[in-house]
Chains A and B, each alone.
Chain A
Amino acid sequence: MALAAETARVLDLEGLEALVEALHARDYEVIGPRVRDGVISLAPLSSAADLPIGWSDDQRPGHYRLVERGDDARFGYAVGPDAPKRWLLPPHSEVFEAEGDGTGFTLRPAEPPSRRFAFLGVRPCELAGIAVQDRVFIRDDLRDVTYASRREDILTVAVHCGEPAGTCFCASVGTGPRAEDGFDLALTELVGEDHRFVVEVGSEQGRELLAAVPTEPAAEGDLTVAAAVTDDASRRMGRDLDTEGLREDLLGALGSSRYRDVARRCLACGNCTFVCPTCFCTGLVDRNALDGSHTARERTWNSCFTIGFSYIHGGGIRESVSSRYRQWLTHKLATWQDQFDVLGCVGCGRCITWCPVGIDITEEARAIRATAVPGGGAR
């Protein structure tokens, strides 16, 4: 996509620092990439100095290592284990508290978060992940309070991807490496002697924020170079997923023998679902005082890889690992489209990297399709 020349600006390293300061001045909690415990993960940033300067990553199935880049890039890495989901749909959140008064209960709904979040360095695939969860939680007929109260006031400073990982495949599912929309500001990092960021404005909020930091108009050459960064990245994706006819193929191959094969490898540990930026399943847990006078209802992440997830009267209906893997894969890549009119996978590759035994969704999807028998069914 061509950059809009009339709105594009250029920010230098001081400008980037000023941007973080401007976000803090507007009372945002700034969440961005930081090196922590051997990964580039999302965490609160106090300044642009906290960014993973000079760091990248080596990602393969079941494998992640930090790698020194040999330059001072701020955003020269691919996504780590955490997505903005951790802030918008926290692993644990209170729903309400109930206080007993002897005859009944007084309910006190959970307080909305005290801070609003600005995501700095959020990737195109992560913006796509947020857009997918928006379809789940913020609808005309339903508004999930836990999610919406965190989501609705966020500000996003996206960074287009220049450094895809070996497990990335956003280009083939159409979510990256350049973000088309869904951001307030979007940066393309141009590393080098004249280290700078080409900035696009995506919203009125973004325009107002950008006006508060020192920028210069982007030169014609800047836009060409910026476009080349993501064009190049899209050619260096480590993986790909052919989405053409994917839904029909997978639903036509529910009896594929590949599910038995993957069940011998799958640990049913749930890692893929917890690192996935679109997986939205949660469970409710009541915690009560011993004397029953007080109860807190908590919402926690849940996973379709547990037996309890499919519990109906009499027990869990997905006892086998193959049935659980099939549920997850076909929901992501097929039935999600019926339910939410969008693919449930944004191509971030987290489930591949963070699977402890390196199971690759793109490879499994390919193998399952290969077992399909013409005219219906599967081997």
Chain B
Amino acid sequence: MASARPALAVWKFASCDGCQLQVLSLEEHLLELAEVVDVAYFLEASSATADGPYDVSLVEGSITTPEDEERIAEVRAASRTLIAIGACATAGGIQALRNFADVDAFAEAVYAHPEYLSTLEDSTPISEHVEVEYELQGCPIDRMQVLEVVSALLQGRRPNIPTHSVCMECKMAGHTCVMVAHGTPCLGPVTNAGCGALCPGFPRGCYGCFGPAETTTTGSLAAWLRHEMGVSQRDLVRSLRTYNAAAAPFAEESRRHDASRA
């Protein structure tokens, strides 16, 4: 199908499909989007696919198998701009918990015939395998950020994707700081903005689903949580090991407090 509109593709690797669902959740904006881009490959939306090359590829999921390693290279080769979307694609996702454990032992425990599995030792982000133009963090991503980055690409401008802390959008939203005023442990100060400070607005602590912000002094926050707020070592490690467990600032800090791997 010949089209003057840029071709958009959406790819899935090891992931839960939640970020692709966020794209579909654009609902009222989907028709606008379809007017300015040609949705050429998006299996979650349509079984009709068009061959590459693609102007923009959104890549969901992490690399966990040898086959993934080959396929991401093919996707990269077919894409002008590659945007990694979500915690899996940008940090290895929740499945990167395997990076802290023995994946063979997991396979033994779960599968009757683990010998049929071919899996990698670690779950890794897309950027560890191919060059990535943009990363949208979050588990799941914020759907409006997809629209923003596509819009910016079309207009030839830099996308407005925040890289600062959740605290800044929390304060702008006028939420009460749950950490200072309620004594609720919160990862907001080291977590990237983009969610609109959803949890503190409710008012719960941020659990870091958007992954590390551009600057993180995770050690300082961890020390405050442990010694001033009475968070146990076990809870601290678990709070850092969720959706972005393998992201370096969270992984390094969790390893520091993990007694079992000291």
Contacts and interface: CB of A to CB of B under 8 A. Distances in A.
A180 B247 CA distance: 53
A64 B176 CA distance: 10
Nearest to A307: B214
B140 to A, nearest CB: 21
Nearest to A82: B174
A33 B155 CA distance: 45
B97 to A, nearest CB: 25
B217 A354 contact: no
Contacts of A265: 217, 220
Main secondary structure of the interface of B (DSSP, over half): helix
Nearest to A60: B180
A148 B224 CA distance: 41
B225 to A, nearest CB: 9
Contact of A39 (B157, B181, B220): B181
Contact of A91 (B35, B36, B172): B172
A292 B36 CA distance: 10
B32 interface: yes
Contact of B220 (A290, A354, A357): A357
B155 A356 contact: no
A353 interface: yes
A149 interface: no
Contacts of A38: 176, 181-182
A213 interface: no
A275 B171 contact: yes
A354 B170 CA distance: 12
Interface in B175-190: 175-177, 179-182, 186, 188-190
A314 to B, nearest CB: 14
A266 interface: yes
Contacts, number: 137
Contact of A303 (B151, B168, B203, B228): B168
Contacts of A37: 175-176, 181, 203
Interface in B202-234: 203, 213-217, 219-221, 223-224, 228
A321 B181 contact: no
Interface residues of A, number: 46
A174 interface: no
Interface centre among B150, B180, B188 (most CB of A within 10 A): B180
A81 B224 CA distance: 20
**Listed residue (A37, A274, A288, A300) with the most chain B CB atoms within 10 angstroms of its CB:** A37
A297 to B, nearest CB: 11
A86 interface: yes
A91 B35 CA distance: 33
Given A275-B171, A353-B180, A356-B167, A290 B214 contact: no
B32 A290 contact: yes
A301 B171 CA distance: 10
Contacts of A275: 171
Interface in B76-114: none
A292 B172 contact: no
B154 interface: yes
A339 to B, nearest CB: 24
Interface string A262-274: 0111111111001
Nearest to A86: B174
A165 to B, nearest CB: 13
Contacts of B35: 290-291
B214 A287 contact: no
Given A38-B181, A307-B214, A321-B217, A290 B164 contact: no
A271 B176 CA distance: 12
B160 interface: yes
Contacts of B220: 264-267, 357
A202 interface: no
A37 B197 CA distance: 15
B16 interface: no
Nearest to A319: B215
A289 B35 CA distance: 12
B217 A301 contact: no
A63 interface: yes
Given A265-B217, A357-B223, 8 more contacts: A86-B174, A264-B220, A267-B216, A267-B221, A268-B215, A269-B168, A305-B164, A357-B189
Closest 3 CB pairs of A and B: A91-B172, A37-B176, A269-B189
Interface of B: 29, 32-33, 35-36, 147-148, 150-151, 154-155, 157, 160, 163-165, 167-168, 171-177, 179-182, 186, 188-190, 203, 213-217, 219-221, 223-224, 228
15 contacts: A39-B181, A64-B177, A65-B181, A91-B174, A265-B220, A269-B190, A269-B213, A271-B177, A286-B157, A286-B160, A288-B151, A301-B172, A321-B215, A357-B189, A357-B224
